[in-house]
Amino acid sequence: MDKDLLRALAMPKIIGHRGAAAHAPENTLASLRRARDLGASWVEFDVRLTADGRCVLLHDDLLDRTTDGSGAVADATLDHIAALDAGSWFDPAFRGEPVPTLEEAIDLLEELGLGANIEIKPHDGAEIETAEAICRIVEATWPQSLPAPLLSSFAMPALETAHRMLPSVPRGLLLEHVGEDWQSLAGIVGASAIHCDHARLTAARTREIRRAGYAVMAYTVNYAGRAAELLAWGVNALCTDSPDQLCGVT
């Protein structure tokens, strides 16, 4: 466990999930702005690669759910994706909201003063390529005015790549279930935080992770009562679709 990385990890207790996913179309600039309006000082968003190697904010392998396009993101060029409507599915008020690039998102983060957890979301077989592309952009463009970003992923090769390319940038290991091998996995990728499904997290496991010197982020927490319980266990940060619902808890 790299204690310097843990000290560099400045995440707050409340982090907007995909921006503010309950209030605006997820992973869009509108959602990042909304998160800031609702009091979030950090946001989380997903980044994956297009067919021409560009980094865009999209969660799914397919375009179908969150845009008016269809097919695999990995098979579509940036020009094609940039012309899609990523807002109308959520609400007609967001009609014409585009899918942003990582560069555009970072520019807005600087403008709004938002910190970020960037989730590396590769399609199968592109774990290293996706992480390399994201790391190159972060290294070249991350604003000095912002705290260091937190790079997270379920994909071990992606986090190993981030460890190699940006060793001084904190990493979070995403686990749907925190099993007995969590610490050995965290050691492989040099993680400083464990990110896990709040519904599968226990108080005992939280104490174990914290005693070992790691931070804990729980996702996706949308109710104040559950948030208070998790914070009482020692969870460091809560990823939420509704930052406004949890602001009174902290």
Domain ranges of the chain: 3-246
Q: Average the pLDDT over each of 2-16, 51-65, 187-201 and give the range with the smallest value.
A: 2-16
**Mean pLDDT (whole number) for 224-242:** 97
Whether residue 44 contacts residue 116, with contact meaning beta carbons closer than 8 Å, is answered with: yes
Helix (H) or strand (E) holding 116: strand 115-120
Instruction: Look up the CATH number of domain 3-246.
Output: 3.20.20.190
Packing angle between helix 102-112 and helix 127-141, nearest 10 degrees?
Answer: 40
Res 8: pLDDT: 63
51-54: which pairs have CB atoms within 8 A and are 24 or more residues apart? Answer: 51/75, 51/76, 51/77, 52/77, 52/78, 53/129, 53/133, 54/78, 54/101, 54/133
**In the block, residue with structure tokens 């000082």:** 41
Antiparallel, parallel or unpaired: β 55-56 and 215-219: unpaired
pLDDT over 90 (residue 2)? no
Q: Which residues are catalytically annotated? A: 17, 59
Average pLDDT (130-156) is 97
* Cα gap 173→157, rounded to integer Å: 11
CA R_g for the chain: 17
Q: How confident is the model at residue 21 (pLDDT cuts 50, 70, 90)?
A: very high
pLDDT of residue 228: 97
Q: For the residues 128-147, what does the mean pLDDT come to? A: 98
Work out the pLDDT band at 1, boundaries 50, 70, 90.
low
Q: How many CA atoms lie within 13 A of 121 on its CB side?
A: 23
What pLDDT score does 25 carry? 98
Residue 174 has pLDDT above 80, yes or no: yes
Residue 6's pLDDT is 58
Return the pLDDT at 248. Answer: 76
Give the residue among 241, 245, 235 at the shortest CA–CA distance from 13. 235
| C-alpha torsion sign, points 131, 61, 174, 138 | positive
**Does residue 7 carry a pLDDT above 60?**
no
For β-strands 115-120 and 150-153, DSSP reports them as parallel
Inter-residue contact 108 to 32 (CB < 8 Å) = yes
Nearest 5°: CA angle at 27, between 22 and 29? 100
- pLDDT for 250 beyond 80: no
pLDDT confidence band for 34 (50 / 70 / 90): very high
Contact between 120 and 47 (Cβ < 8 Å): yes
241: pLDDT confidence band, cut at 50, 70 and 90?
Answer: very high
Partners of 193 in the β-ladder = 172, 215
Question: What is the pLDDT confidence band of residue 3, given thresholds at 50, 70 and 90?
Answer: low
Work out the mean pLDDT of the chain and round it to a whole number: 96
Contact in structure between 162 and 131 (CB atoms under 8 Å): yes
Q: What is the pLDDT of residue 5?
A: 64
DSSP 63: S
Using alpha carbons, list the distances in angstroms from residue 66 to 26, 59, 222: 8, 9, 21
pLDDT of residue 247: 77
